Amino acid sequence: MLRQDTGFGGFPSTAARHGIVGRFGTARHGGGEKGRSFLRFGNSGRILPVPAILPIISGAAWQGFPITQRNRPRTVPAPAILPAGTWPAKEDAPVSITVRHTLFSLAAVAGFYASVAAQTLTDPNAPSEAARDIASAASLEAAPPAEGLIPPESADDGPPRIDAHYTAVDNSAIQNAEDDSEEPPIAGDIDDQMTAGEKSNAAHDIDTHGAETIVADNAGEYVGDDWVYEDDASFAELISSGTWLHRGRWFSQMEASLVQRSTAPRQILSDIPLIFGTQTFFSEAMTTESSGFGYEPGLRVTVGKYLGRDGENRDRTLEFTFWGLNEWTSQHAIAAVNPSNESSLLRTPLDRGIGAYNFATAHQYAYESNLNSFEVNAKISRRLGRDQMVLTPDGHWERQCAPGKTPTFLGGFRIITIDEEFSFDAQRTGLSSITNLPDASGTYDIDAQNRLFGLQLGAEMIQQHCNWSFGVGGKIGGYANFVDQTTTVRVSDTRTGLSSSSRDESASDVQMALGAELKLLGTYQIRPNIALRCSYDFIYLQGLALAPQQLDFNAAPQPNVRSGAHQFLNGGSVGLEIVW
């Protein structure tokens, strides 16, 4: 019996006028080795033999958009739906593809998909006309093969079988018929026509990228993998194809980013006394959130290796990603409004007895934070399905990819480092002659280091089109956070009742941390092996020990690490992806 190839729905009138879309595949004999190319149009069930086999798609950079082919005559099918069993009319036409023609083709494809969607929504279970035709032909046990299908060489080969999956280097050849009454000849195996070097290169390409299609002329001679040939003229240059995307041995991504991060947990650093009769209240004057972080530049670099393609048409890759050089700084300072009035001098709520920080003329803080990330991930990414052939308004055939969703799953190991410095300074100057307060100064410096080591899992869902894509991705991981903090305090104050101190302490701890990441991304294929990338990322980290948390103005503090803080980052990036 004949096996129905998954095809398209009916063609709208605009598609018939401006462009025809069909499935490109191979009609093969059941159990046989040899195959021939075909195009099946819409629900009509008509199968149009095509004197070409899809080539291996070259990953060279010069095969990009826009393309102007060599100005030489070629044979092209006329832009019309032909009766079953007939060959397209031939005419000589210059080989050129313009942006206008491409836009017309895309419009035709859009109209065509709309008609398919409408038909599916109307009755998704109804068999297509092509399905009914094939089922009817298959029910005739001894009937000769239908016109337009390649008959078997002998009765032992069994009935013909339609296989729309691309054939590999094994036994494919391009055939052509000179007129409607003559059956296209069958060429010998391509393996016999290839040199030892060509066989070695093709075998290595299959091992690396999976099976593709080798191009041969109408005599079965191996001619290369850059063009699809008909007779002695170019038939169709590869405009866009699923095999163009992510084709190579190595890939690299480099992106410049602008990222903003949240501040530390809010903590009051300075306040001012407000006296109402016998009551004294304090109004906050400065907190750790008085000056936030802005967007700061960073860099993301990824280097990866294609490990091969599995039997489910998925790429297996191993990649290393560095994201970092992010440095955020903020600072804030305040001064007493009326230093001559002792009640207007600055205080700190951390401890009223610490010298210099209480009854101060000025307070200021500076906060600096750095983040770097290193990760190694193994990925499995689904590729697009088989391509489609599109007939442009000027009568040229183009092989184009069939857009679809390409999910990706990943798992790996990640290291995140966060280094922070926080300094809180106070001073009192120029009051000795007014309020009899001596000069004083204080410095409080904290260094905090977070080292997160852990495993992560992630996934992406990409809507892939021929030259652009968009999608969403996410990661989540659990980490062991190795925390170190060092504190240095220097306070000098000779006023009675206030203390002067000098303190050096450090502490370490191990905490559990959580990391989650969400990414919105898009790409545009500038050339087959060069893509423009952009993304917007959201990152959340929980279980950190941030520097401002370690402030402790107690008279006799115990060295320890305060953790449990979170950090939220968000920002965009833009860059390039190169495959070679």
CB-CB contact of 545 with 485 (8 Å): yes
Which DSSP helix (H) or strand (E) runs through 135?
A: helix 129-138
pLDDT digits (tens, 9 = 90+) for 415-467: 999 999 999 998 888 776 666 677 888 888 999 999 999 999 999 999 998 88
CA 328 – CA 294 distance, rounded (Å): 7
- Reading the block at residue 299, the tokens are 């860099």
Backbone angles phi and psi of 437, in degrees to 5: -100, 125
Q: Is residue 105 helix, strand or coil?
A: helix
Residue 496's pLDDT is 58
Nearest-CA neighbor of 49 among 192, 197, 174, 156? 174
pLDDT digits (tens, 9 = 90+) for 171-195: 333 333 334 444 444 334 444 545 5
Q: Is residue 196 helix, strand or coil?
A: helix
| pLDDT interval class at 219 (50, 70, 90) | very low
CB-CB contact of 244 with 57 (8 Å): yes
pLDDT digits (tens, 9 = 90+) for 479-521: 999 999 999 888 877 765 566 667 888 899 999 999 999 999 9
Residue 352's pLDDT is 61
In this predicted structure, the answer to whether residue 132 has a pLDDT above a threshold of 70 is no
**Model confidence, pTM:** 0.59
Greater confidence (403 vs 13) lies with 403
Radius of gyration from C-alpha coordinates of the chain: 36
In this predicted structure, the answer to whether residue 101 has a pLDDT above a threshold of 60 is no
Backbone angles phi and psi of 165, in degrees to 5: -80, 140
- % of the chain at pLDDT higher than 90: 29
Greater confidence (128 vs 310) lies with 310
- For range 132-154, the mean pLDDT: 40
Residue 12's pLDDT is 40
| pLDDT interval class at 338 (50, 70, 90) | confident
Residue 407's pLDDT is 95
Half-sphere exposure of 198 (CA within 13 A, CB side): 17
Greater confidence (58 vs 330) lies with 330
Cβ-based neighbours of 541, under 8 Å, separated by 6 or more: 416, 418, 452, 513, 514, 515, 566, 567, 568, 569
Backbone angles phi and psi of 244, in degrees to 5: -75, -35
Residue 470's pLDDT is 96
Greater confidence (5 vs 358) lies with 358
- % of the chain at pLDDT higher than 70: 53
Burial class (CB in 10 A: 0-12, 13-18, 19+), 578: middle
The ranges assigned to domains in the chain are 13-237, 303-579
Residue 539's pLDDT is 97
User: What is the chain's mean pLDDT, rounded?
Assistant: 68
In this predicted structure, the answer to whether residue 60 has a pLDDT above a threshold of 60 is no
Burial class (CB in 10 A: 0-12, 13-18, 19+), 99: exposed
| pLDDT interval class at 353 (50, 70, 90) | low
| pLDDT interval class at 279 (50, 70, 90) | low
In this predicted structure, the answer to whether residue 533 has a pLDDT above a threshold of 70 is yes
Amino acid in the structure at residue 473: G
Cα angle 192, 193, 198; round to 5: 105
- For range 308-319, the mean pLDDT: 89
Cβ-based neighbours of 209, under 8 Å, separated by 6 or more: 243, 247, 306, 308, 309
Residue with tokens 């907190």: 287
Residue 479's pLDDT is 97
- For range 285-293, the mean pLDDT: 84
Residue 126's pLDDT is 42
Residue 180's pLDDT is 41
